[in-house]
Structure 1
């Protein structure tokens, strides 16, 4: 049977595809431009778009399981609802949906509120799905590594409550494990939720300390100025998205991203290995930067 992966060329989607291929799954990926997809051999790549109903109907034909990942775009909510309605129409009874942790708490943050709306649809329409709820992707910090390395400042305003940051490689592997579990189950299983978190819940000061230790020099925490954060983001993303990210960072400050007591243990058992830590991530970047200087 066939597993359809949406968002297959993104940071998480690529990891999901690779992990599924590694496990011998029959993978179909829907992408906007197959010529640029560059996915592993054996993956069936189909051209399509989550707002193009005909292409999505075609992509869903003969599919048994769907991995639904929606990018942060203005019509993310619409894309997700269309995809789920078409999956239901096609008789797909096995779904894994990538939501976000605290989607029910960060109610004023557009891309969180949209994902919570999708979760409500999944439940009310009686779809058989696993809802994966990842915390902050530590790999997002690749975008600010030059600030850390070049200016000695960790600039993300994440505050003092703490974020249970997770590596996208762990997200991809857990998603693949869950997709295979649903795919191979005798019948559809009911809705379940899994918080995807890292092994540590880290504050801004904690992360600055990790960078200081890894680099062998002092890295300062840049502080909690979400307004300045928004203005910086507007230099390389649309204003609506920069504002969305500002609203998210404000909830970091007030609420954090705090895991449930058994989340990390559950994921460690699922993976059969330890979760990747932020220190691992920072060490990889530091080693790569050092190698680039030689």
Structure 2
């Protein structure tokens, strides 16, 4: 039994789908099971990291766990407690979704969010794998309406280049780590094949939809306002803003070969991801 937390999110839902397609026994944990859409045969359970009993029930009988727990700077303790609870439940293998830059002081507060969970994993007691993805290609799905209506898309990172990663590569690596002990004890920093700017991404979208896509640079105050409007608390807003400004200065330009190391093939390019999501941007 493989328990997938965050089972309705970008990565978790794809992990559930891929595991089910392999014929694995999968339990999907979500705070609202009624809204979960999962493949046939997948067990859906309610689980909330703030509700210990629900977590213990979700862990019962699980042999492996995909851990998606950190939503903000205050959540690292919940992440670490989930690791402890999983080990107490006899879980043999834990794969944690972390983030690029974790543990690097240059990333500021954002680089500390996942540290408690990572440290808890490395303390021993089960097999573990840590995934540290860079910026997701899917973050640009928020551009869809602007692209369809001919408006410029927001640029929060200026001319800073990032190793934008296809979320499918992250999910596929998670499945590999959950089902194969060869990945145990590894930390994979997952990026795309090249470091690209927002302007590069806009150009890729333009090439796919067949019309120009402009960009509009946002000031730190504008970014701060957008993040606050999304529901983040002040601490999370400032942490994320710091990370974005670090990326703007070129600090998140890291590109690795870890997708190839984990999966035996190159990482997907951003253009490929856009082509596969053309209907979203073109509105057809």
> What's the TM-score, normalizing by structure 2?
0.88
Deviations 1:107-127 (A, max 9, x none): 4234x3121232122223454
Deviations 1:83-130 (A, max 9, x none): 1111121222211010011112254234x3121232122223454200
Q: Which residue matches 1:89?
A: 88
Size of the alignment, in residue pairs?
Answer: 281
Partner SS, residue 67 of structure 1: strand
Between 65-74 and 76-85, the greater mean CA deviation after superposition: 65-74
Q: Which residue matches 1:116?
A: 115
- Do residues 211 (structure 1) and 205 (structure 2) align? yes
Maintained 8 Å contact 2:99/2:133: yes
What is the CA distance between 1:190 and its match in structure 2?
4.8
What is the CA distance between 1:201 and its match in structure 2?
1.4
Q: 1:18, 1:253 → 2: CA distance?
A: 35
Q: 1:121, 1:38 → 2: CA distance?
A: 31
Distance 1:199 1:268, change over 3 A: farther
Q: Which residue matches 1:138?
A: 137
Maintained 8 Å contact 1:103/1:115: yes
Equivalent positions of 1:132-281 (< 5 A) are 132-182=131-181, 190-223=184-217, 225-240=219-234, 241-254=236-249, 255-260=251-256, 262-267=257-262, 269=264, 272=265, 274-281=266-273
What is the CA distance between 1:176 and its match in structure 2?
0.9
Distance 1:173 1:281, change over 3 A: same
What RMSD in Å do the two structures reach over aligned CA positions? 2.4
Structure 2: runs of 5 or more not aligned: none
Partner SS, residue 217 of structure 1: coil
Deviations 1:139-195 (A, max 9, x none): 01112222334344231322334111112222212211211113xx7xxx7521112
Q: 2:189, 2:282 → 1: CA distance?
A: 34
Maintained 8 Å contact 2:209/2:281: no
Between 206-215 and 60-69, the greater mean CA deviation after superposition: 206-215
Structure 1: runs of 5 or more not aligned: none
Q: 2:36, 2:246 → 1: CA distance?
A: 35
> What's the TM-score, normalizing by structure 1?
0.85
Q: 2:94, 2:277 → 1: CA distance?
A: 34
Q: 2:64, 2:276 → 1: CA distance?
A: 34
Q: Which residue matches 1:41?
A: 40
Maintained 8 Å contact 2:107/2:246: no
What is the CA distance between 1:205 and its match in structure 2?
2.7
Q: 1:280, 1:190 → 2: CA distance?
A: 29
Q: 2:28, 2:164 → 1: CA distance?
A: 27
Deviations 1:42-91 (A, max 9, x none): 11222221121122122212211111011514542122111111112122
Deviations 1:26-54 (A, max 9, x none): 11122222222221111122222112112
Distance 1:141 1:291, change over 3 A: closer
Distance 1:215 1:114, change over 3 A: same
Q: Which residue matches 1:4?
A: 3
Equivalent positions of 1:56-95 (< 5 A) are 56-73=55-72, 75-95=74-94
Maintained 8 Å contact 2:94/2:127: yes
